[in-house]
Amino acid sequence: MGLLRQATTHLAGCCLMATISPVRAVYLSEEGIGQVLLFPNYSANVSRGDGQNTYLSIVNQSSDSKALRVRVHEAREAQEVGAFNLFLSPGDTWTGAILPSVQTSGTRIVTRDKSCVSEPFGAADGLMQFEFNPSSSSLERTREGWIEVIEMSTVTGSSAAAIAPDSSGTPANCGAVIGPGAVVSTATPSGGLSGTFTIINVANGLEFSGNPVALGGVAATSYYRPASDSYPSLNAAEIDPISVVVANGGVYRSLWQRPIDAVSAVLMRSRWAGEFVLDAGTRSRTDVVLTYPTRQFYVTQNPPLPPFSQSCSTPPDTLSGEPITFDYADREGDVTRFQSATIVIRCAASEVFDFQNSATPTNTIETGVLGSRSNAWLFSPGSVLIRTGIQNGRFVISAMSRTLTSLPSSTRTDLSTGNVVAGSHVFSGLPVVGFTARTFENGTLSCGAGACQGNYGGLFPLKFDRSISP
């Protein structure tokens, strides 16, 4: 199976999916619009002395009103540090910003948007402080992580009228859906969500913008809950434990024991690829973000459930995560400069590592671009540092011997012949989303009679390969 090869078009897969899937099935939306949005990273860290902010948008592209659960997870153990209900009218866009807290070492989210949101946002300042329950852990843990957005239901009738904006953009009556004892009229989720995120290093002018990963076909039944209820999650009972994946010339319709397995299946990737730049002339740096949005549903017991192998019962700062192989080479693919290693990455739900072209790490506390302290290589930096003078190239990460196996009632359809065969499917790899963040830093430049910054940043989604076998 060649890396990054697409065996068929999405259109063909979708058309065939409609004929073989009489009930709802979770799928990865190539269009970036769906019922669930997974933002792979947010950061309010300090990087090289400068603070970072993360700006978010959530867009309702549909003609239905929506009730959403927005949940923020910290990076190490995916613990919830903030959550709220968000109500969007048709075509509505909500925006907010994640910033370092001015009161503590933690983090806050601020919005000036008029869309209806539940407490704990302050009515006067539009502010919500992130919280972290374990008393032994610092609020600094809330400075980085990832975000999930779940469409719980469409909103109908008088509830839809209550969240509809007037000519000034102000909803008619938010209290009707978020107030004490509010009764919300709901119906089946219909999808149509999209969004963006931008991580900005304000002082030095670097910014990294991307789109969340979207999942479609997640639920065919309303599972609305008030914000005080921790339900639903990505393992909610209303999610049919069925996934559909188009790969390698076939459509794999897989049945699972749990809903979360269907979500994991569409995110399972065997290899993850990207590029790095460390050019000295532009003082370039590269960070790689790897986030496992479903990991917490597998590692709360010992031994953990497949596809994860480590329960991480030890403190999260230990090097006890998943084994991977890590390969990289220069842009010419020079085999004499090719590096390969089998390593163990940090035990975390969202990991970040950077490339350092040095025999000795210049910073073992935080990564060079995002200032992440969920640094995958923190406890063994010498095993993965680029030490051969390579200033740019590509890398491939492979998950080792991790699998997720569907039930025997699963089916696979050959796209070229239409033949349908029943049987279990073995998905190899880990459920992962992520990207690389790269910088080009020229510092202060002369611009006419004045000075300006010459710093640039870019975000590039990782490229993935799938391995699915009978």
Does residue 217 sit in helix, strand or coil?
coil
Burial label for 379, CB within 10 Å (0-12, 13-18, 19+), is: middle
- Sheet with 350-354: list strands edge to edge: 350-354, 285-291, 433-447, 450-461
What pLDDT digit, counting tens, does each position of 177-221 carry?
997 789 999 999 999 999 999 999 887 888 999 999 999 999 999
Domain count, the chain: 1
Residue 392, CA distances (Å) to 9, 60, 87, 279 in order: 32, 39, 45, 7
What pLDDT digit, counting tens, does each position of 72-129 carry?
999 988 989 889 999 999 999 999 999 987 666 788 888 889 999 987 666 555 567 7
468 band by pLDDT with thresholds 50, 70 and 90: very high
Q: Is the predicted pLDDT of residue 20 greater than 80, yes or no?
A: no
Asked if residue 58 is part of any domain, the answer here is: yes
Asked if residue 403 is part of any domain, the answer here is: no
13 band by pLDDT with thresholds 50, 70 and 90: very low
Asked if residue 255 is part of any domain, the answer here is: no
Question: CA geometry: angle at 307 spanning 142 and 42, to 5°?
Answer: 20
List, as one string, the DSSP characters of 13-65: HHHHHHHH-SS--BEE-TTS-BSEEEEEEEE--EETTEEEEEEEEEEE-SSSE
**Which residues are 82's β-sheet partners?**
72
Asked if residue 258 is part of any domain, the answer here is: no
Asked if residue 215 is part of any domain, the answer here is: yes
- Listed in sequence order, the residues at least 6 apart from 265 whose beta carbon sits closer than 8 Å to its beta carbon are 26, 243, 245, 254, 256, 404, 406, 427, 431
Structural domain boundaries enclosing 102 = 27-232
Query: Above pLDDT 70, what percent of the chain?
Result: 79
Asked if residue 219 is part of any domain, the answer here is: yes
Asked if residue 311 is part of any domain, the answer here is: no
**Res 12: pLDDT:** 44
Q: Give the tokens for residue 414.
A: 């050959």
Q: What are the backbone angles phi and psi of residue 198, rounded to the nearest 5°?
A: -135, 120
Asked if residue 148 is part of any domain, the answer here is: yes
Query: Above pLDDT 90, what percent of the chain?
Result: 53
